[in-house]
Chain A
Amino acid sequence: MTTTISTRGPGVHTDRRRVLRIGPVSGVVRTRQLLVPLITLVALVLVSAASLGRGDYPIGLTDVLRTLVGIGDPTQQFIVTELRAPRIVVGVLVGLALGISGALIQTFARNPLASPDTLGINAGASAAAVAVIVLGGSSSSAGQLLGGLGLPVAALAGGLLTALLIFGLAWRKGVDGYRLILVGVGLSSVGLAGVDWLLTRSDITDAAAATVWLTGSLNARTWDQAWPLGIALAVLVPVALAMSRQLGVLQFGEDTARALGIRVGAAQAVVVLVAVSLAAVSVAAAGPVGFVALVVPQVAVRLAGGSRPPLLASALLGALLVVGADLLARTVLPVALPVGIVTAVIGAPYLLWLLVRGRRAIT
């Protein structure tokens, strides 16, 4: 530990802060933490608009706008509002959910390796969903029950159940970040083993359907997936944002947080419940879209600065990554790949580049 270290290297930011006070309301506004979400939002709108127009049947931007206000020709109207819009809306919502979920879990666990992917929540949801796909067609009573449940509900239940198990096993008068991750990694492999076992027992068409679902896909999403996801996010995202202040203190560890007047157990429970629910509803809507929750918060903290993944920037960057990856998958690439493959292919090298460039060691 030396006394003098230049702190203004790339990757570390001492942010310019402005104070905002209106009547009894006061807060600190940090330029970069405001700029990054704003720019991301603009990019997200542009990419979404492009995505509405591109596809097997290209539609110009003006025609896209006309259909959105309801004055396009009927064919275009159908393609934009019934085929492409729900797909993009689901993509945006899944990205928002995964970005926030990852940011919450990484802050809470004080570990950048923590995410719904590594904690096994995705694996649990996957196992349940694949069970529905594989066993749902069978005539056994278990199959009937699972088939009747429907894939999204099964995925949701699987994800939440896994989360309960993780916390049951990791809880020792509070949750330690490392223990949480180890338990999660353990349960994750159990879930993935279950998926493999189901796949080997299934017939070839079920296995193919399950495999596409397992990589995370926005294909054939309709408003039926978009609405429940939207409603869930309308509840969960405000709660997450309201927890922001507590998160900044929870990050110091349990003792210091308690000394600063936080009810640690309750705050942890809310953070985890929101994070897990966000991950589970997104998996229910689009399958386990890999890497978003793991990578996006780390990208966000490097772009926006600060000591922890910023929630708003993580959410919007998550949405941008998913929608952008979907656009690429549908247009540039010769084969239409599921979005989950592309998010990993874009997200991972970008994080690696930020890691090589910056001086931040981990979080």
Chain B
Amino acid sequence: MTATLTKPLLDETGAPRVRLAAEQVRLAYGENVVVDSLDLALTDGSFTAIVGPNGCGKSTLLRALGRLLRPSSGQVVLDGKPIAKTPTREVAKVLGMLPQTPVAPEGLTVADLVARGRHPHQSWLRQWSRDDEDVVAEALRWTDMAELADRPVDALSGGQRQRAWISMALAQGTDLLLLDEPTTYLDLSHQIDVLELVERLHTERGRTVAVVLHDLNLAARYARRLVAMKDGVLVASGTPAEVLTEELLAEVFDLEARVIPDPVSGTPMVVPVRRLR
């Protein structure tokens, strides 16, 4: 079905193969160190949500994983090779990344936006192969954007726009997909819409997904693994039930809260009580 299945899913020891890993990375903007000596591995077929308070470095970490930010020390490894030493175009065939609130130029249609996802597969001579056409048509259909294909992206609603970008990422045809707060500025039903689409990418298309999310309850419901960060440090990692505990919420979010089972999905659900301190 997808490229992931043609590669070994497990390594020699029988554990899931690591696709993308941050190894002892130190991430800084100028003098300002945001993350120091952090390790994080994303295994094949995983669906990870990175959560944490504002400014904890979760988006910075995702940018580093997507080679948009070069670590000042340590390295990011993609399929066993240092990502910084792999040609960016080759990386783009395996690893897709949607930055936070990407902006499409005015007048660009949805079809053209999704077609740009084929860029890493194209060349000066081979600008629009039958393959490109099929993949883009498929991506549009699969994300329910085919009807809107001729609309300019700037004329879409927030939810449709995010769908269009996800459609572009799908057309890029990468096994790995990193999403930086894909639900920002969306109302609740569109947040659900986008996250269900991402979940389908994971379950139906076998994509390895890592997403930065603010909403803990949604993160717990959709992701298979949560990673909690505070002040640039990875505090906890595991299944939603392991990570989202009352103690962790106090420690990471300074929040007194009750954690009860989500009546719909059974995943942990946070009911805030008050802010601590």
Contact = CB atoms under 8 A, between A and B. Distances in A.
A28 B107 contact: no
Nearest to A8: B150
B209 to A, nearest CB: 15
Contacts of B127: 26-28, 245
A245 B151 contact: no
Contact of B105 (A3, A25, A308): A308
B172 A258 contact: no
B92 A260 contact: yes
A259 B104 contact: no
Contacts of B240: none
A1 B129 CA distance: 35
Interface stretch (A122-130, A142-150, A248-256): A248-256
A252 B98 contact: no
A26 B172 contact: no
Contact of B93 (A19, A251, A261): A261
A12 B120 CA distance: 28
Interface stretch (A52-60, A81-89, A224-232, A299-307): A299-307
Q: Which of B89, B90, B97, B152 has the most CB of A within 10 A?
A: B152
A75 interface: no
Contacts, number: 113
Contacts of B126: 24-26
Q: Which of B89, B116, B117 has the most CB of A within 10 A?
A: B116
Interface string B171-194: 010000000000000000000000
B105 A252 contact: yes
A234 interface: no
Interface size class of B (residues with CB under 8 A): 35 or more
A68 to B, nearest CB: 36
B103 interface: yes
Contact of A259 (B97, B157, B160): B97
A27 B119 contact: no
Interface stretch (A158-166, A213-221, A318-326, A355-363): A355-363
Contacts of B129: 21, 26
B246 interface: no
A152 B155 CA distance: 47
Given A3-B157, A19-B133, A110-B105, A261 B68 contact: no
Contacts of B93: 261
A25 B125 contact: yes
A260 B109 CA distance: 18
B232 interface: no
B88 A12 contact: no
Contacts of B109: 14, 307
A362 B154 CA distance: 12
Interface string B84-116: 000011111100111100111111110010001
A245 B125 CA distance: 11
B128 A19 contact: yes
A256 B107 CA distance: 18
Given A7-B155, A261-B88, A261-B91, A256 B99 contact: yes
A255 B128 contact: no
A306 B68 contact: no
Interface size class of A (residues with CB under 8 A): 35 or more
B117 A258 contact: no
Contacts of A21: 128-130
B103 A28 contact: no
Interface in A315-363: 360-363
A262 B119 contact: yes
A299 to B, nearest CB: 14
A307 B107 contact: yes
B92 A259 contact: yes
B74 interface: no
B73 interface: no
A263 interface: yes
B158 interface: yes
A235 interface: no
Given A26-B129, A27-B127, A245-B124, A260 B106 contact: no
Given A259-B92, A259-B96, A261-B88, A1 B103 contact: no
A69 interface: no
Contacts of A3: 156-157, 160
B231 to A, nearest CB: 24
A249 B128 contact: no
Contacts of A361: 106
B268 interface: no
A12 B152 contact: yes
A2 B122 contact: no
Interface in A275-311: 301, 305-308
Contacts of B152: 7, 12, 14
B224 interface: no
6 contacts: A1-B156, A7-B152, A252-B104, A305-B107, A307-B104, A307-B112
Interface of B: 63, 66-68, 88-93, 96-99, 102-109, 112, 116-117, 119-120, 122, 124-130, 132-133, 150-152, 155-158, 160, 172
Nearest first, the 7 A-B pairs at minimum CB distance are: A261-B92, A307-B108, A261-B120, A261-B89, A255-B99, A259-B97, A27-B127
Given A12-B152, A253-B102, 20 more contacts: A5-B155, A7-B155, A19-B128, A21-B130, A26-B126, A242-B124, A253-B99, A253-B103, A255-B68, A255-B102, A256-B98, A256-B102, A258-B68, A259-B66, A260-B120, A261-B92, A305-B107, A307-B106, A307-B112, A362-B106
